[in-house]
Amino acid sequence: MAIATLVAVALLAHSNVPASSKAAPPRSTSSSSPHAVARVTRAATDTALPGVDKAARARPNRVSPPTPTPPEPAIIKPKGPIPFLVSASVRATIKKCYNRTQNVWLTFDDGYTSQANLDSILATLKKYNVRGRFFPTGSWARTHASMVNQIRAEGHYVENHTGNHAHLNRLDDAAVSNEIATGQAASSSPKLLRPPYGDGAYTSRVYYLAAQQGYRLCTWGTDTMDWAHMPASVIIKKAVTGDARTPPAGPGDTVLMHLRNTQTRYALPKLIDGLLARGLTFDTLR
Ligand SMILES: [Zn+2]
């Protein structure tokens, strides 16, 4: 034990000697010199290595392989069926779509709608001076550019809802990144990405993959369930008063609706009236 400690101290001391002095003769030949101990230890090692033939040792020094660079911090991937979740406070922020105001945000997803449906929704938003956020899929937006331009021209935001309305938790990292890249480019700041079905929206994996392309994740606070073909009266009730399944919209909340549902346009005026009557405010166009 004492010898090992002495050798370790000796090697440590030796490593601190400047390179220019390493070839210099020892200042002392005393066996108590740490330099002397270090030389003895190395010499013993050179001649006593088992299993190494002399020819190999005689070869000139080869360039040692470069030290591998430490890898970039890995993106956290789900392990097993339950993916890592972002923290509760980040989840709350994602549900509010990074809305830092008290205004309620009305959101309209997907596309796949008729011109009459879109015209009606846009006319109501204009009448009430409410700015909406639209999340068309990239594939629909590319084939319906005039409708997307119409939405944007009226002062609304257009956001990313992936290229093909994919379940992000079912895709590997490269495919998720591709779905984001082929989605409609967001026009807001921060840019928002709403994962279809909310799939993966609270996982750290999708969080980081979205962030790599400058996106913040966005889900919703109140699901009107218009996607389930609810009648207009139910859509209004869910947003304004809530029900057993859905909390009503509150200050700074987001309300989920869909462009394609035929009842949404009929629900929208009373939905806005009901929230205004509760003292809530909206993002405005003017
Ligand atoms: Zn959708």
Per-residue pLDDT of the chain (286 residues; tens, 9 = 90+): 443 433 333 333 333 333 333 333 333 333 333 333 333 333 333 333 334 444 444 444 555 555 555 444 444 555 555 568 888 899 999 999 999 999 999 999 999 999 999 999 999 999 999 999 999 999 999 999 999 999 999 999 999 999 999 999 999 999 999 999 999 999 899 999 999 999 999 999 999 999 999 999 999 999 999 999 999 999 999 999 999 999 999 999 999 999 999 999 999 999 999 999 999 999 999 8
Read out DSSP for 123-155? HHHHHHT--EEEEE-HHHHHH-HHHHHHHHHTT
Compute, in angstroms, the gap from residue 240 CA to the centroid of ligand 1.
Answer: 22
CA of 256 to the centre of ligand 1 (A): 10
Residues 104 and 221 sit within 8 Å (Cβ to Cβ): no
Span from the CA of 85 to the centroid of ligand 1 (angstroms): 21
Cα(75) to ligand 1 centroid in Å equals: 26
Q: Which single residue is written with the structure tokens 């949404």?
A: 264
152's tokens:
């944007």
Residue 274's pLDDT is 98
Residue with the two structure tokens 């937006």:
141
CA of residue 245 to ligand 1 center, whole Å: 19
Catalogue the E-assigned strands of the chain.
105-110, 132-136, 157-158, 191-193, 215-217, 222-223, 254-258
Domain ranges, ordered by start, for the chain: 2-57, 88-277
Which letter, b or e, does each residue of 201-231 get, where b requires 16 or more Cβ atoms within 10 Å of its Cβ?
bbbbbbbbbbeeeebbbbbbbbbbbbbeebe
Q: How far is the CA of 115 from the centre of ligand 1 (A)?
A: 19
**Ligand 1: distance of its center to the CA of 137 in Å?**
7
| Beta pairing class for 105-110 and 191-193 | unpaired
Distance CA 40, CA 127 (A): 92
Query: Would you call 22 helix, strand, or coil by DSSP?
Result: helix
Reduced to 3 states (helix: H, G, I; strand: E, B; else coil), residue 191 is: strand
CATH superfamily label, 88-277: Glycoside hydrolase/deacetylase (3.20.20.370)
CA of 92 to the centre of ligand 1 (A): 20
Q: For the chain, how long is the longest CA-to-CA vector?
A: 99
| CA separation for the pair 235, 164 (Å, rounded) | 26
Beta strands across the sheet bearing 105-110: 157-158, 132-136, 105-110, 254-258, 222-223
Cα 197 to ligand 1 centroid, rounded to whole Å: 6
Tell me the pTM. 0.72
Q: How far is the CA of 1 from the centre of ligand 1 (A)?
A: 69
Residues 73-86: b if buried by 16+ CB within 10 A, e if exposed = eeeeeeeeeebeeb
Q: How far is the CA of 48 from the centre of ligand 1 (A)?
A: 71
Q: What is the pLDDT of residue 77?
A: 53
Cα(269) to centroid of ligand 1, in Å?
22
Q: CA-to-CA distance for 188 and 86, rounded, in angstroms? A: 23
